[in-house]
Structure 1
Amino acid sequence: MKIIKPIMAGAFIALATAAIAHTGVKDPNVKARMDGMSAIGQAVKTIGTMMKGETAFDGAAVDAALAEIENRAARIPERFEENVITPKSEARPTIWESTDDFNEKALTLETLAATRQGTVSGPDDLRPLMGEIGATCKSCHSEYRD
Structure 2
Amino acid sequence: MSVFKPALFALPLSVLIAAPALAHSDVKNPVVMDRMMTMKAIQGSMKTLGDMAKGKIPFDAEKATAAAAAMAHDGKKVPEKFRANETDPKSEALPAIWDNFDDFVQKSEAMVAAAASVGTIGDESALGAALGKIGGTCKACHRDYRE
Question: With structure 2 as the length reference, what TM-score do the two structures score?
Answer: 0.89
Q: How far apart, CA to CA, are the structure 2 residues paired with 1:121 and 1:73?
A: 22
1:122 matched to 2:116: no
Any unmatched runs of 5+ in structure 1? none
CA RMSD of aligned residues (A): 2.0
Q: How far apart, CA to CA, are the structure 1 residues paired with 2:13 and 2:35?
A: 16
* Shift in CA distance, 21/62, structure 1 to aligned 2, threshold 3 Å: same
Q: How far apart, CA to CA, are the structure 1 residues paired with 2:4 and 2:68?
A: 23
Tell me the percent identity: 37
**Partners of 1:50 and 1:56 within 8 A in 2:** yes
Question: Which residue of structure 2 aligns with residue 35 of structure 1?
Answer: 37
Residue range with higher mean Cα deviation, 14-23 or 98-107: 14-23
* Shift in CA distance, 53/3, structure 1 to aligned 2, threshold 3 Å: closer
Matched residue count = 145
Q: How far apart, CA to CA, are the structure 1 residues paired with 2:20 and 2:97?
A: 20
Q: State the Cα distance separating 1:128 from its structure 2 match.
A: 1.9
Q: State the Cα distance separating 1:3 from its structure 2 match.
A: 8.9
Q: State the AA in 2 paired with 1:30.
A: V
Question: With structure 1 as the length reference, what TM-score do the two structures score?
Answer: 0.89
Any unmatched runs of 5+ in structure 2? none
